[in-house]
Amino acid sequence: MHKKSKQKQKGFTLIELLVVISIIGFISTLILASVINARKQARDANRKATVSQIQKVLELYKTNNGVYPGSPGTTVFTQESSFCTAVAIYISDACNRLKDPQVGSYVYMQPVDGGYFIGAKFEVIPSDVTAAMFWTGGYQEPAGWFYMYRIY
């Protein structure tokens, strides 16, 4: 008589391994997505801080000169020499400090009805923006949306 020995096999089956690998992949995808989103939000928080800094510079300019820099109805980028020169006494190295390292310049627009807009290219659209402007590219700017804050 031939006896079969029943030995327990050691190790994992292919299905068990595939299930574990699938779970690990799913969890790592969730973590990676949240890290990427957190980085975007951090860069956007920096953009909001720079927009606030530009606003303070523009208010100082108006306090000293009675008007905002530029002409009503114009749009300029913070990297343009005319803007950098106008605000140079309020912020040192204005052209470099008012530059977004990811997407380039911020935009400053002075409408004819008063006040001004300050715009930035946010990666996650903020809920408190008052307008949006599509830029078709040019002046070292890629095409895209600038989300604008209106200041009166």
What local confidence, expressed as pLDDT, does residue 91 receive? 85
Question: For residue 116, is pLDDT > 80?
Answer: yes
Question: For residue 108, is pLDDT > 70?
Answer: yes
Strand stretches in 17-101, DSSP E: 74-77, 99-100
Question: For residue 148, is pLDDT > 70?
Answer: yes
What local confidence, expressed as pLDDT, does residue 136 receive? 57
Cα 136 to Cα 144: distance, rounded to the nearest angstrom: 7
Cα 67 to Cα 59: distance, rounded to the nearest angstrom: 9
Lowest-pLDDT range of 35-49, 74-88, 122-136: 122-136
What local confidence, expressed as pLDDT, does residue 78 receive? 80
Arithmetic mean of pLDDT, 78-93 = 84
Query: Could you tell me which residues come within 8 angstroms of residue 99 by beta carbon, excluding any fewer than 6 positions away?
Result: 78, 79, 105
Residue 99: pLDDT band with limits 50, 70, 90: confident
Per-domain residue ranges of the chain: 16-151
Arithmetic mean of pLDDT, 27-40 = 91
